[in-house]
A and B are shown apart, each in its own frame.
Chain A
Amino acid sequence: AQSVSQHNHHVILSEAASLELGCNYSYGGTVNLFWYVQYPGQHLQLLLKYFSGDPLVKGIKGFEAEFIKSKFSFNLRKPSVQWSDTAEYFCAVRKTGTASKLTFGTGTRLQVTL
């Protein structure tokens, strides 16, 4: 069974600091990778996704992630965070295929201070 690990459970950064959130998965086959964000009191929103092609994926709000197949990793990055980025971030993986389910990591709570 596939699993997803997010090593940072709670991250506190000052505005303008750079961000990198780790995500590793365990599955040997072809996968689709996702990062979702959940702002306080809101539903999950897709930040970015990787299906194939360029392993460096750019998403919304200045976020990007790099798929490193050899490391089974899909780390999320942002060069300069803003206070409005305070949220919960979830990495998710699924095997390729139209009916396969998403497996979520435990989430990383990002708190950005002014």
Chain B
Amino acid sequence: GAVVSQHPSWVICKSGTSVKIECRSLDFQATTMFWYRQFPKQSLMLMATSNEGSKATYEQGVEKDKFLINHASLTLSTLTVTSAHPEDSSFYICSARDAGSDTEAFFGQGTRLTVV
């Protein structure tokens, strides 16, 4: 299947700093990427839908100014957690779908963020 790569796999940052997470589709183009958050032993909660060349669509309750999403190209979307706080510590997962193809989404390996 297609490959989606997330970087970094884990990151520890100080409270108040910002962290950027990258999501790349390695062998296909993705007009749409999705960002999820997964708390321990819980399901994936969709945070936002990232569309190449336009603004992301955020789910209800997700602060767009805190979780900045940029989808500048067909193979890269970034999620920046601004002014991170310990409660932002979580597992962040991206997924991407092949542009124009009604197939399943492929998932990145996730990024474990710990804010201290």
Contacts and interface: CB of A to CB of B under 8 A. Distances in A.
Contacts of B43: 90, 104-107
Contacts of B105: 102
Please report whether the interface of chain A is mostly helix, strand, loop or mixed according to DSSP: loop
A103 B45 CA distance: 8
B104 A49 contact: yes
Nearest to A88: B41
Contact of B32 (A45, A49, A96, A98): A98
Given A32-B102, A99-B49, A102-B105, 14 more contacts: A36-B107, A43-B110, A44-B93, A46-B106, A90-B44, A98-B97, A98-B102, A101-B34, A102-B34, A102-B95, A104-B36, A104-B43, A105-B43, A107-B42
Per CB-CB distance, the 6 closest pairs between chain A and chain B, nearest first, are: A43-B109, A44-B107, A106-B43, A104-B44, A104-B43, A107-B43
